[in-house]
């Protein structure tokens, strides 16, 4: 099925790339990296903010005495460098119809997984929404995603998983990440999130902050379509339905409405982009109108997600 999705030439070009990390990780596999995580090694690495659930024995009480804030000592130790690819499977990814957001996102997830597996990274893919099941996925497979794969042959199971998903439900981004990270504890590395991010800004910030506090190298790809950027094209009035909540609202195509929508969407995108920039999270906007291979081979290396 892989060769029906991607051309042989595109796959060969992906094999020459690797997932880039702005943090240092060390793996027992090929392509070693240095990991700065809480561990038992005697070699001190750095400090990071304490997060509930962390080992309290690594808290630096001297710093707490001076600042009344909890910080952990972190140490260098061998871990399995992992690449986590998380795809938004909420119902909003199916709309507007014709934009192909979910298809574009899962193809990106598949391409990034192939890059990771080609460099012997341990790769895991999962989908999130507030439904415990979606389409043909069982409760466990929906929450857990695929197993970790480190051989290139794992791409076929990842492809089956991604193309077996039917999006549905709304979004509980921080709640899902809390469950996911507790299930994958010990697999630190790069965490790539693919989503339209058209949900509560406070929720997306809580989710991304959780990944930061757990010391992942976080990267964000926001996937939007042309009809989302300009939904008024070719209409004078319409009934708008929130696909996740079912709320309905009548709107008319006026200059004021167009401007209000455009400003709101730009602010929503800007808020995410600036949050990412302020917190050393790589961010890019993927418009589904852009040719897919060009986006992967030119844009992703340009911003540093792959190299």
pLDDT in tens, 232-278: 776 655 556 665 566 776 666 677 878 888 899 999 999 999 999 99
Give the Å distances, CA to CA, from 126 to 84, 158, 215. 8, 9, 19
* Among the ranges given (34-48, 61-75, 121-135, 152-166), the one the predictor scored with the smallest mean pLDDT: 34-48
**pLDDT tens by residue, 175-224:** 999 989 988 887 889 999 999 999 999 999 999 999 999 999 999 999 99
The domains located in the chain, with CATH, are 2-26+79-303 (3.40.50.410), 36-76 (no CATH)
Q: Crossing angle, helix 155-162 and helix 101-118, to 10 degrees?
A: 170
Separation CA 136–CA 133 (nearest Å): 8
Query: Model-level pTM?
Result: 0.79
Say what the pLDDT of residue 231 is.
Answer: 78
Share of the chain above pLDDT 70, in %: 78
């Amino acid at each position: 099925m892989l060769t029906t999705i991607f051309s042989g030439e595109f796959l060969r070009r992906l094999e020459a790339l690797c997932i880039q990390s702005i943090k240092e990780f060390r793996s027992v596999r090929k392509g070693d990296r240095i990991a700065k995580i809480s561990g038992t090694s005697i070699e001190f690495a750095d400090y990071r903010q304490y997060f509930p659930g962390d080992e309290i024995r690594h808290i630096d009480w001297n710093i707490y005495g001076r600042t009344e804030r909890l910080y952990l000592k972190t140490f260098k130790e061998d871990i399995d460098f992992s690449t986590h690819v998380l795809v938004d499977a909420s119902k909003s990814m199916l709309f507007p119809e014709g934009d192909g957001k979910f298809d574009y996102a899962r193809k990106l997830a598949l391409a990034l997984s192939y890059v990771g597996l080609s460099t012997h990274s341990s790769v895991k893919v999962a989908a999130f929404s507030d439904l415990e099941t979606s389409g043909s996925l069982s409760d466990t497979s929906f929450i857990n995603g695929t197993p970790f794969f480190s051989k290139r042959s794992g791409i076929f199971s990842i492809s089956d998983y991604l193309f077996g998903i039917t999006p549905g439900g709304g979004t509980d981004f921080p709640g899902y990440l809390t469950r996911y990270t507790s299930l994958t504890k010990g697999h630190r590395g790069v965490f790539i999130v693919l989503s339209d991010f058209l949900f509560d800004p406070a929720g997306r910030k809580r989710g991304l902050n959780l990944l930061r506090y757990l010391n992942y190298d976080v990267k964000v790809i926001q996937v939007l379509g042309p009809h989302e950027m300009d939904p008024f094209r070719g209409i004078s009035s319409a009934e708008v339905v929130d696909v996740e909540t079912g709320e309905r609202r009548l709107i008319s195509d006026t200059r004021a409405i167009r401007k209000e929508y455009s400003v709101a969407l730009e602010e929503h995108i800007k808020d995410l982009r600036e949050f990412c920039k302020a917190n050393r999270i790589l961010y890019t906007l993927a418009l589904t109108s852009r040719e897919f291979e060009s986006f992967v081979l030119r844009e992703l290396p340009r911003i540093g997600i792959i190299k």
